[in-house]
Amino acid sequence: MLIPQFIIRQYRQKHRRAQGEKHPAGPPPPEGWVFPFTGISVRRQLVQFAFMAAGVLCAALGLKGFLLPNGFIDGGVTGISLLGNQLSGLSVSLLIVLLNLPFIVMGYYQLGKEFAFKTLIAILALAGVLLVISVPSLTHDKLLIAVFGGFFLGAGIGLTVRGGAVLDGTEVLALYLSKRTSVSVGDVVLLINLVIFGAAALLLSVETALYSILAYLSAAKTIDFIIEGIEEYTGVTIISAHSERIRRMLTEKLGRGATIYAGRRGYGSEGQTREAIDIVFTVTTRLEVARLKEEIDQIDPRAFVVMHSVRETKGGLVKRRPLH
């Protein structure tokens, strides 16, 4: 699966600590009991393990109810395990654990002991659930198998990431290789999966490989949805001579927060100018962008508006999803 941003963020945090970078004073220690292994509050740790448990169950449903009974595979270590099961008859649970162990060790040194510990628990739990549960084949339609098998597997991986772990060690290897070569993390993951699906086409069948690619794409989109959430935020920068009216419209009419920057015009419709001007910045959801444009046009049709996608927000008047 393709989850590079989570892996990269974990690596950068560990690297900064190892380099001894100076950071401003952080938040006060969590109140209440603290989990001894990670220093995180028990409540937050329980939420993370709940995400992991739900993720393991969803991934197991996708594998046992859809992909495994019908001979489809996925990308990454999970895909290699499924392919190995079809070719050798070895237990998928055993292959998932054995093939992921080197990457868990690598993750310990690259991303820290908390990540490695949680990932080990998640992978062992997935292997155990696959051994214990019995799920009947839910459909024989190959298109439905690919789409929904990928959906449940992707939901499981996404929920596990929200819990601070992964169910597939491919991204850890990708990060390791990207540090030592000029190839990006995403390119490494793509190359690995191309090899896996190419092998499936040669060793199984082209049709199976194509349906497996569809399952992989379904899983990848579901992962994005689970991690990023349904709300997509848009950052809006507004440059207008009526900045105060726009600010009041944002805060009083739309109920949005606003930040004012003191700026100067550089070049406008009347040529060179050094006129001072307030620049308004706000963050809104994509569903509210159309209304925001209408409100700005009513105040100042000549306002200069710049919009860009916002990956994540924290604090302010825009709610943030609960953490992984």
pLDDT in tens, 84-111: 999 999 999 999 999 999 999 998 888 8
Among residues 91, 35, 101, the alpha carbon closest in space to that of 64 is found at 91
Higher pLDDT: 314 or 136? It is: 136
116-144 pLDDT per residue, tens: 999 999 999 999 999 999 888 888 899 99
Residues 179, 188 contacting (CB under 8 angstroms)? no
Is domain 233-310 in CATH 1.10.3720.10, yes or no?
Answer: no
Alpha carbons 44 and 46: distance in angstroms, whole number:
5
pTM of the complete model: 0.71
What is the pLDDT averaged over residues 247-261?
Answer: 91
User: Once rounded to an integer, what is the mean pLDDT over residues 55-64?
Assistant: 96
Average per-residue pLDDT for the chain: 83
What pLDDT score does 171 carry?
Answer: 77
The one-character DSSP state at 302 is T
* Complete DSSP assignment for 251-264: IIIS----EEEEEE
Residue appearing with tokens 């726009």:
246
Which DSSP state fits 67? I
Are 55 and 41 in contact by the 8 Å Cβ rule? The answer is: no
pLDDT in tens, 169-227: 887 887 778 777 777 777 888 889 999 999 999 999 999 999 999 999 999 899 888 87
Give me the helices (H) in the chain, please.
Answer: 4-19, 42-62, 68-70, 76-88, 92-111, 113-132, 142-162, 170-180, 185-203, 206-228, 243-248, 289-299
The token pair that represents 217 in the structure block: 């794409």
Is the Cβ–Cβ distance between 125 and 59 less than 8 Å?
Answer: no
Going by C-beta distance under 8 Å and a sequence separation of 6 or more, which residues neighbour residue 14?
Answer: 110, 111, 112
Q: Within 13 A of 199's CA, how many CA atoms are on the CB side? A: 18
Higher local confidence (pLDDT), 50 or 264: 50
Domain ranges in the chain with CATH number 3.30.70.120: 233-310
Give the position of tokens 């990431």.
161
